[in-house]
Amino acid sequence: MVTITFPDRDTEKRALAYLLGRFSGRVLRSGEHLVPEAALEALADQNIPFAVKGKATYAEQLAALRGVASAPVQ
């Protein structure tokens, strides 16, 4: 998984519309997106601009899968 960002909200919407159903991924609260490396080539082929922040860490991937922390059990 790779962390990417988009230059503006319109580009982000266009990219998500294209990626939806083709690749799995997650949107983080920070506005960054976790996508598989194969999605980068697909976005480039569609002329959708994006910036690569780097490989997603294990902690980022795990946090994206877990989502919001659940309430403590009493």
Is 23 part of any domain?
Answer: yes
Count of structural domains within the chain: 1
Q: Model pTM? A: 0.75
71 within domain boundaries: no
Residue 50 within any structural domain of the chain: yes
The three-state secondary structure class of 36 is coil
Measured CA to CA, the distance from residue 29 to residue 61 in angstroms comes to 13
Provide the CA 54 distance to its chain's centre, in angstroms.
12
Is the residue at 12 inside a domain? yes
Domain that holds residue 27: 2-66
Round to the nearest angstrom and report the end-to-end CA distance of the chain.
35
39, part of any domain: yes
pLDDT tens for the chain, 74 residues: list them. 899 999 999 999 999 999 988 998 888 888 899 999 999 999 999 999 999 998 877 777 766 666 555 555 66
Confidence (pLDDT) at 74: 64
